[in-house]
Structure 1
Amino acid sequence: MTSRSNSWRVVAVGCGAVVLLGGCGPSDDGDGKAGSSSTSKTSVAPDVPAGYDPCKDVPQSVLDSEKLLDKTPDNSSVDGGIKWRGCLWAQTDGYAASIQTTNITVEMVRARHFPDTHEFSIDGRRAISSRQSTDHPDAACTVDVEMKGGSLEVSLSNPPSRRNTGQLDTCELTRKLAEKVVPTMPANV
């Protein structure tokens, strides 16, 4: 379990207590992805957003442009109903990328106050980047892009030992990948 999943898991445990008292925020998944509690009684969608399946819908041209290979399913869930559905790819001696839909919203990520958080837009959608890993913050970055009922989450792991990308800023790489993927999403999702 990564520290990122633990972060979301801690939120999930708190969410259970909050639900009994009248509200709920995000939870933590065993994948270290974080949610947030919310004072505005925001509820977590029961499932990930529909209408875009990263495993099938990310165009091969995008994967080829990033030299991403070896597609592997990457699905997980944590207490509190937080879910991720998608796939993982890797570059030879470069970064590994997970592209998933999740019921975590941009607002939930913002509320967690992760280090190095930046808000911007991609193809007219709100987006937020953050460093959610406490184990290796410089080598990991996540970009969440707004979807109905959650977000498209692009996460990179880019250890400094990787010959092709290890010397590059991981959040910059993550944002560039998200900027290639997001325009391939239908406008209504």
Structure 2
Amino acid sequence: MRQLVFLAISAALALAGCSSSDAGGDQPTGPNGASSTGSLPPDVPSGYRPCDDVPKSVLDSEKLLDKTPDDSDAAGGVKWRGCMWVQTDGYAATIQSTNISVDMVRKKSFRDAHEFTISGRQSISTRQVDDHPEAACTVNAEMKGGSLEINLSNPASNRNTGSLNTCDLARTLAEKVVPTIPANA
């Protein structure tokens, strides 16, 4: 149980990490959440609800259990809607729709950023948590009006996954989840 609590806290820190390197506040981009391509959409993308739409086959393949709703709002209108799952003696994953776009993430210049495409969707992986960068990774995959965000918390103490690269694990999970997003979402 203690490890589960630690994983939940680590996942929350990873979630908060999207804005942690911005000394000015919780905005994912410039003032008031605006990006150079327009302002922040008022809500998360529709058409994919991670808590309901991530297939059981994907969760089973990653041994992800204990679905817990994980919705949050941050200053500037940033929103996340989704759920968190944990792997026994392994990583915790939060899969959420957010009104943060891949372009906004790119412009934040987070460390260890890698861009790639999954099922035709522009995607980026980044390390956004300054105090434990190796144990946390975020993948954002393009959606209309934002992105699907997958946050992994993978402390080195985790017996099954702690020795593995967290961004590799996050990308593997993203490569299983993103193809399940409807083409019009």
The TM-score, its normalising length taken from structure 1, stands at 0.85
Secondary structure, in 3 states, of the residue corresponding to 1:109? helix
- The correspondence for 1:127, drawn from 104, 123, 137, is 123
d(CA) in 2 for partners of 1:157 and 1:11? 20
Asked whether the 8 Å contact 1:13–1:79 carries over to 2, the reply is no
Return the alpha-carbon distance in structure 2 between the equivalents of residues 148 and 158 of structure 1: 29
- Find the counterpart in structure 2 of residue 137 from structure 1: 133
Say whether 1:84 aligns with 2:84.
no
Contact 2:28–2:104 under 8 Å retained in 1: no
Structure 2 residue 91 is matched with structure 1 residue 95: yes
Between the aligned partners of 2:29 and 2:136, the Cα distance in structure 1 is 25
Change over 3 Å in CA distance of 1:81–1:137 after alignment to 2 = same
Say if 2:163 is the partner of 1:161: no
Q: CA deviation at 1:12?
A: 2.6
1:4 offset after TM fit, Å?
Answer: 1.0
Aligned to 1:54: 50
Equivalent of residue 172 in structure 1, options 168, 172, 176: 168
Report SS of the residue matched to 1:110: helix
Any residues of structure 2 matched to 1:2-151 within 5 Å, and which?
2=13, 4=17, 6-7=19-20, 10-12=25-27, 15=30, 18=31, 24-25=33-34, 38=35, 40=36, 42-151=38-147
Q: CA deviation at 1:14?
A: 8.2
Q: Output the CA distance in 2 between the equivalents of 1:91 and 1:155.
A: 14
Cα distance change on mapping 1:184 and 1:77 into 2, 3 Å: same
In structure 1, C-alpha distance between the alignment counterparts of 2:165 and 2:28, rounded to whole Å: 33
Structure 1 residue identity aligned to 2:68: T
- Report the Cα offset of residue 6 of structure 1: 4.8
CA-to-partner distance for each residue in 1:97-128, whole Å, 9 max, x for gaps? 00000000000000000000010000010000
| Cα offsets for 1:136-173 (capped at 9, x unmatched) | 10000000000000000011000000000000000000
Taking the aligned partners of 1:108 and 1:183, their CA distance within structure 2 comes to: 22
TM-score normalised to structure 2 length? 0.87
Q: Mind listing any 5+ residue stretches in structure 1 that lack a counterpart?
A: 26-37
1:45-90 superposed Cα distances (whole Å, 9 cap, x missing partner):
0000000000000000000000000000011101100000000000
What secondary structure sits across from 2:150 in the alignment?
A: strand
Q: What percentage of aligned pairs have identical amino acids?
A: 63
- SS of the residue corresponding to residue 130 of structure 2 reads coil
The unaligned stretches of length 5 or more in structure 2 are 1-11
1:64 alignment partner AA: D
